[in-house]
Structure 1
């Protein structure tokens, strides 16, 4: 089975298991947060705004890979339903969430006014505390790469490159290990405490911002840091369920872009990380496919046992996102 067929199988499995109407309303569609669903998942009580943004992004990936009028209609309904489930608003209190939805809508070519609203809200999150950057959440005192990274990518894509560059410079100065090149998580502004956790998510969005702004040296450094610090036998390592289920998939998305856009050895390293991770993810999947949260380990089976993190939409989206990244590289060959 080639990479496009794998991505197609992932799309089919996830859409069949997770996509359902919102509250039974005709013309709506949203992703259930778990499969098999709990009672709260069935009514989209647990709906996870930023997981939905990544589901929309994966649908856009699939549409680029294999255009289909029915999927295009689903994408339009999905975008509208996110706003409906968010009680008529596009925004929320988390700057990282809003950046992801803005990126997905922008890639889909939908709701330009909504994208503008989200960009305006993100821009307003900048303060001079701790030298700049935006907050993780409104009313919070924590600044981190998971918010500043996707915000920088979005600002760059809508033409606000100067502001995007300010965000990238702040991350570079405050949250990159000068010795290893690895990107740390964040900074507690009031105490000055550095949260030096290493998440694949942070490497991915920092890399994405570097690529958008043509910061080649920083992008190359990040690719090599990922290969050295974020892999198990050449495969991107997982970070559990919940939000962590998306982290490695996010990194794979931007590694695939790096494989196309970077020069020399770094492009080859990025490409191999994506392809080897995709092979491991696919080989470890159980019937369906249903993906493991750790791509070097087998899936727990279909359906996953009660309480297992493979039930999480985020984990399955991470696998789908990875396989779409691998398929995108095959289109470049």
Structure 2
């Protein structure tokens, strides 16, 4: 079973690298992922910058190299790091969105850890920039600079970053704020709080990646506290377990397949982020009580059932998979007709194919990496 998922993850990696990976502006020793396939000319030139999609592309490259480190994989990671820095004109902090920056900080830190290298100055500066953005009134990060919207997609990855960096106090403050203010009646985490003239208003949608990042942050905090503050560690594991159960009940089919409409664009990444952290929980929390064992089993089932479904519903083009945006339905063949806003495409109203987006394909790759990870852990 483990070998099967390793092979499928390899095919996902190959599909995305063959279709999306290219040098930045023909510069040698650089690499980035084109945001759609088949791409338009503007997309090939990275005319519109998808900062956080590239962060998740880098994360997936690190996943593959963590499974089996090769010179080619390590080289591609280094080239991607360079491509990111050049496309950002040398300053990774040139971005108003704190969620984007947190995702990139997480991916870059993983890449450097894989190389067994200390964090470079540019990464330390990025992390410091994120921490400096914490609002003095609420104690948490806004969605973007100058914004009065405080959300989980920003504070979740930031909490994971802080916990991995050893700042457990600050990580706990972010997580506690999310759980205290945004836990819905069905057990899922809502999106955020917008400060208005009439007072704070909860933004209620419960996106898959909101659940994923809170699970991930709770696991990081619990592991950091386990040796010297066991009782507090258990509290965060309890939060993580409750979220896994809520995801299984509210976001999955009876067979355990994550079934949540996320479409194309940024939403294409949402389910992939959720399964990344479900897998993280499944392999990391201790099997020292029945509740942990049961939750690990549920998380593993959600990952593997979703991966089986996505694989069954994939398309194959030139022997490589195209993953569906809906993990319970067949993938559609991508094309780029009608994406340029031409008068012809407006007249015929060509339906946009979600599967064309890098975000959708990265979610499929993340899912297969998650499946490879949990199956290897249990074999």
Residue of 294, 299, 319 corresponding to 1:265:
294
Secondary structure of the 2:366 match is helix
Deviates more, 1:303-312 or 1:241-250: 303-312
Residue 375 (structure 2) aligns with = 330
- TM-score of the pair, normalised by structure 1: 0.96
Matched, 1:186 2:192: yes
Match of 1:152 in 2: 159
State how far apart, in whole Å, the 1-side matches of 2:141 and 2:371 are.
Answer: 32
Q: More displaced, 112-121 or 70-79?
A: 112-121
Measure how far apart 1:47 and its partner are: 3.3
What count of residue pairs does the alignment treat as equivalent? Answer: 331
Residue deviations 1:221-276 (CA, integer Å, cap 9, x gap): 00001111112342112411100000000000000011123322111100000000
Aligned to 2:106: 103
Alpha-carbon distance between aligned partners in 1 of 2:122 and 2:195, rounded to the nearest angstrom? 30
Q: CA RMSD in A?
A: 1.5
Compute the displacement of 1:44 (Å).
1.1
Who is 1:20 aligned against? 22
Rounded to whole Å, the distance in 2 between the matches of 1:325 and 1:273 is 10
Contact residue 106 and residue 112 of structure 1 kept, 8 A: no
303-312 or 69-78, larger mean C-alpha shift: 303-312
Q: Which residue of 2 aligns with 1:63?
A: 65
1:120 to 113, 128, 131: 128
Contact 2:334-2:356 within 8 A present in 1 as well: no
1:202 aligns with 2:210: yes
Structure 2 partner of 1:212: 220
8 Å contact from structure 1 (residues 13, 289) kept in 2 = yes
Secondary structure class of the residue paired with 2:321: coil
Runs of 4+, deviation exceeding 6 Å: none
1:276 alignment partner in structure 2? 305
Instruction: Select between 247-256 and 131-140 the one with higher mean Cα deviation.
Output: 131-140
Superposition deviation, residue 128 in structure 1: 3.7
> In structure 1, how many angstroms separate the alpha carbons of the residues matched to 2:216 and 2:195?
25
Deviations 1:185-229 (A, max 9, x none): 011023311001010010000110110111110000000011111
Which of these residues, 251, 262, 286, is aligned with residue 230 of structure 1? 251
Any idea what SS the aligned residue of 1:289 has? strand
Whether contact under 8 Å (2:212, 2:277) holds in the other structure is: yes
After superposition, residues 131-146 of structure 1 pair within 5 angstroms as 131-146=138-153
2:294 is the alignment partner of 1:294: no
* Structure 1: gaps spanning 5 or more residues: none
CA distance in structure 2 between the partners assigned to 1:112 and 1:151 by the alignment: 19
Task: Give 1:301 shift.
Answer: 2.6
**2: CA distance, partners of 1:326 / 1:305:** 34
Q: Which of 44, 47, 72 is 1:42 aligned to?
A: 44
What SS is found at the alignment partner of 2:89? Answer: coil
Alpha-carbon distance between aligned partners in 1 of 2:201 and 2:68, rounded to the nearest angstrom: 47
1:151 alignment partner, SS class: helix
Alpha-carbon shift at residue 36 of structure 1 (Å): 0.2
Specify the alignment match of 2:314 in structure 1: 285
Correspondence for 1:4: 6
Distance 2:123 2:181 in 1: 28
**Comparing 51-60 and 299-308, the one that deviates more:** 299-308
CA contact (8 A) 1:300 1:310 kept: yes
Deviations, residues 21-74 of structure 1 (Å, cap 9, x unaligned): 111111111110100001211111133000000000000000011211011011
